[in-house]
């Protein structure tokens, strides 16, 4: 009985193995089917990675543009601030010159008064 049972199990296993090696409608065996499945999976992953890289490149390009625009705007702001500081310094210099001139006139006037008092 054990031999019969063993023979039956062996025969079933062989039939299952042979069924696994059967070709499909296109004449492809199991290794070919697995190879095609792997190729399709690889192509899918590759396309997904390429799409993600393209999106990342677009994001980097957008960020680069924004940084460039911000840099240009900051440069313009710095130029405007420099011009304003220059105008303020010029006005301050003119005011200081007028103050020094008035002080000089007052000194001369006071010096003339001191001479008259002597």
* Between residues 28 and 118, the one the model is more confident about: 28
Residue 17 CA to residue 11 CA, distance in Å, equals: 10
pLDDT > 90 fraction of the chain, expressed in percent and rounded? 48
Residue 25 CA to residue 63 CA, distance in Å, equals: 53
- Given a contact cutoff of 8 angstroms between Cβ atoms, the answer to whether 21 and 14 are in contact is no
pLDDT band for position 59 (cuts 50, 70, 90): very high
- What are 61-104's pLDDT values in tens digits? 999 999 999 999 999 999 999 999 999 999 999 999 999 999 88
Dig out the tokens for 35 from the structure: 């190879």
């Amino acid at each position: 009985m054990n031999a019969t049972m063993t023979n039956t199990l062996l025969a079933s296993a062989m039939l299952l193995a042979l069924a696994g090696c059967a070709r499909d409608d296109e004449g492809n065996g199991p290794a070919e089917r697995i190879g095609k499945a792997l190729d399709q999976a690889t192509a899918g992953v590759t396309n997904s990675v390429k799409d993600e890289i393209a999106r990342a490149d677009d994001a980097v390009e957008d960020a680069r543009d924004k940084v460039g625009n911000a840099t240009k705007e900051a440069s313009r702001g710095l130029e405007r601030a420099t011009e304003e500081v220059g105008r303020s310094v010029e006005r301050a210099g003119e005011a200081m010159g007028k103050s020094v001139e008035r002080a000089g006139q007052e000194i001369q006037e006071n010096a003339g008064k001191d001479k008259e008092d002597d």
